Chain A
Amino acid sequence: MESLTLSDVEQKYYSELFLSCDVDNTKKVASNGKVLDLFRAAQLSNEVVHQITELCGATRLGHFGRSQFYIALKLIALAQSGLPLRVESLNSVRDLPLPRFVMGKNEQETRHAVMFADTENQGPYFPRPPGRVQAKKVSAHEMIQPCVPTVDPQPDTTSPVVSPHQSPPTSPHAWRKHKRQASGGNVDRQPSVPGVVWPPFREAQPGPVTGDGMWSAHSPPPVQESWVSFTDTPPSSTLPMHPPSAQVITTVRTVPSAMTTNEIQRQISGYDDPWKITDEQRQYYINQFKTIQADLTGLIPGSAAKEFFTKSKLPILELSHIWELSDFDKDGALTLDEFCAAFHLVVARKNGYDLPEKLPESLMPKLIDLDDSAVPEPATEVDFSASPVEVTPNKSPSMPSLNQNWSELNQSNEQWETFSERSSSSQTLTQFDSNIAPADPDTAIVHPVPIRMTPSKIHMQEMELKRTGSDHTHPTSPLMANPPELSDETKLAATIKFPGTTVGDGYSSSDSFTSDQEPISSAVNRQRSHSGTSPEGLKVVAPPPPPPRPHASHSRSSSLDMNRNFAAVPAGPQQPGVVAFPPAVPPRPLPTQTSVPHGHRSVEGDGLPAHTSTSPHQMPEQPNFADFSQFQAFAVDQPADDGENTSDKTTGTMKTAKNDIQSEERNATTVNSAKVSTPLAPPPKPVRRRLKSEDELRPDVEDLPQKSNVIATVLATQPSIPRSIGKDKKAIQASIRRNKETNTVLARLNNVIECDHRISLEVQLEQLRPFSHL
């Protein structure tokens, strides 16, 4: 045999082919069978084939030895390039392209199947995308180079190229069909894409045989290899040949999951932009996206993406970097675009490309998905759902570079960031201050309470006077409404009628009262307004000077409750039960009021309405707020309620309510008149009580004349409890006492709260002091 000098590439190629033919591993290839198929695949006429066979000496030997085989291959190459078959030319011809073999579809498919099956074992190889050979382009021949899965010992460094038509059942390599570049001039080395080592490639490139070996084309071989492994579409074989410079990048995706080890490797020809995603690739990515997240407009959470990309067996650091690049909005999740970009980067990395420092423009989000339609080839070819990418070199249309978006985003981000920086700095400093001194009107109102305490009886009387003089200016006359509630629907509330409805009104009116510190007058007013606010108001009415509750704040909140509570509002126990009363109160207060100790009534009656109105919790509307008598009764009851939760409350509350109201109002701020069982008189009281130690309010009430006592007792006890009308003064006084106590407690609390902040600041100062003179 003539000596044959082969270039490295040829060497590799030939050896691969030989191995592929050498199924039996006998190092001899029979002339029949695969060899012939191979030769025929070279698309040479039979004559030529025969001639070649003769030339190489196979006929002599009857079989193809390795050398013969090589010679034959070389001759084929010669023939394909149109050169005469001459033995002499074997060595003389330089730059002979590798012989090309065209595979028939069937074979391809078969091989394909084999490949698939074979690629199960990943080993060092990556599952190869089932590439189908595509119909070649006019001049392109598909070179089928099954990658011998390195399993076979490769004699040379280059793993022998398996002959195309050999579908090595055992060889776990994937067949790769590469499309040869149209320019046949160069040896097209198909980069070994699929995980399987690409023998030639391996040689040519330092492609590591490791898992990453796939992409041996680290430095894209100078020769353009544009080959794409397609999962073919039989019908249209658009062989996208890349223009010369194209570097095919096979995207290797090792996704053991659905892809079953078949990963697509796409090759991107990125001669002008290595990062462009071709349509096929994009389609593939989209399909992958769907496996994780069915909704294409949805997001893939970080954990899912992490799992997915971890399968690619890239080092975590690189994956982390890829993530950083691709998670554009930094939300910890990947949109479709982000996912495609990430996938693309993974593929590129697998193929040996270094990761960029910044996201390439073509990968920026908003890459289009539109172009998918451009590629006719569906993903069908991809058996493993990984559609081999057909390099469409020129196309990269899909990616409209989104520079502008990026830059815009960048700018906007920066601006945004600067804004945040700027603004936040001041915020932190000021936040503190706002926390100081919650201006609690209630608390503020509470303060006045003490003032009222002193006059006590005098106040009461004054209140009464005022009350008498006052008219139901307060529409809501919470007192009116409250009493009913307080008195447990009968006593006090008569006027309160509107326990529920009037609450609002009561509040408003009560508000005005709240400010009214005067026990009596305020009580009167309060009672009126209380109708809406709280039953306490009613109760308070009785005691003229129910602490001018900070109706403003409280009343509102409590008014509603107050209305309901009407009956039991005393500061102490919240008036849960009171609430119930208001509704039915209206009619009752009258009788109750009347029953109320008249002594009180005169004052209380007026006072109650006033109280109620004033008490913050008073029911908003006390239509009958004018009906002070009711309140009185109510107020009376209320104080009594403190100790007694009886139905009498309503009546008793009337009176006590007055007192209570007053006292409550005093403590109004503190008391949450939520319940406000006594809409009128009670409201104030209960409100106050609610706030804090409502009982303390009662003491305030005590100052009031007996009415206050009554109210206090009524209110103090429990908001919801309808005080028994018949509370005696003792009870009322007790309630008043309690209210007062509550008041003082609340006042103290107020101070404490206010001081608290100062203290904390001081503490901080102390802490810092040591460092000041280090």
Chain B
Amino acid sequence: MFHYTVHTSLDVVEEKISGVGKALADQRELYLGLLYPTEDYKVYGYVTNSKVKFVIVVDSSNTSLRDNEIRSMFRKLHNSFTDVMCNPFYNPGDPIQSKAFDSIVSTMMVQAC
């Protein structure tokens, strides 16, 4: 169910990176606010220099997450992603099946909670 959210957020990310023309590695905050009254979550975006986009969806009820934390999460994601990329057996575009990557992501998620 988050796919929809993520897809819509992609549009916003695109808009941001194309409009400004600045460093692509901007870590922007994409706050969707209340899409539904009941739903309140934040979507953060992050774009790498190669236009690879990371999207984090966070429940707004989890108010303890600060911006810095999000940034560090993105950083970790980026590092893990580059590690996955380094694997010659990985074809870009494939779903990532790296266990190391998954473990890092899981750890992060746990921490965020």
A contact residues vs B (CB 8 Å cutoff):
302-303, 305-306, 309, 316-317, 319-321, 323-324, 327, 330-332, 357, 417, 420-421, 424-425, 428, 431, 760, 763-764, 767, 771, 774
Contacts and interface: CB of A to CB of B under 8 A. Distances in A.
Given A421-B75, A763-B19, A771 B89 contact: no
A350 to B, nearest CB: 16
Contacts of B22: 760
Contact of B89 (A306, A331, A424, A428): A306
10 contacts: A302-B88, A317-B97, A323-B87, A330-B86, A417-B76, A420-B75, A428-B26, A760-B20, A764-B20, A771-B31
Contacts of B16: 767
B89 A320 contact: yes
Given A302-B88, A760-B22, A774-B33, 7 more contacts: A305-B88, A323-B88, A417-B79, A428-B27, A760-B20, A764-B20, A767-B19
B68 interface: yes
Contacts of B25: 428
B3 interface: no
A480 B106 CA distance: 73
B26 to A, nearest CB: 8
Given A764-B20, A767-B19, A774-B34, A303 B97 contact: no
A763 B20 contact: yes
Contacts of B109: none
B65 interface: no
Interface string B5-42: 00000000001100110110111001111100000000
A479 to B, nearest CB: 44
Contacts of B90: 320
A320 B97 contact: yes
A342 to B, nearest CB: 11
Interface of B: 15-16, 19-20, 22-23, 25-27, 30-34, 68, 71-72, 75-76, 79, 82-83, 86-90, 97-100
A305 B83 CA distance: 16
Nearest to A358: B100
Contacts of B23: 431
B87 A424 contact: no
Nearest to A301: B88
The 4 closest A-B pairs by CB, nearest first: A302-B88, A306-B88, A320-B89, A332-B86
Given A324-B99, A357-B99, A302 B75 contact: no
A416 to B, nearest CB: 10
A316 B89 CA distance: 7
Contact of A425 (B68, B97, B100): B68
B33 A319 contact: no
A424 B33 contact: no
A480 B108 CA distance: 69
Contact of A321 (B27, B33, B98): B98
Q: Which of B16, B87, B90, B98 has the most CB of A within 10 A?
A: B87
A320 B87 contact: yes
A191 B20 CA distance: 64
Contacts of B72: 421, 425
Contacts of A357: 99
Contacts of A428: 25-27, 71
Given A324-B98, A421-B76, A330 B89 contact: no
Q: Which of A319, A421, A424, A428 has the most CB of B within 10 A?
A: A421
A306 B91 CA distance: 12
B71 A302 contact: no
Nearest to A764: B20
A764 B30 CA distance: 13
A74 to B, nearest CB: 50
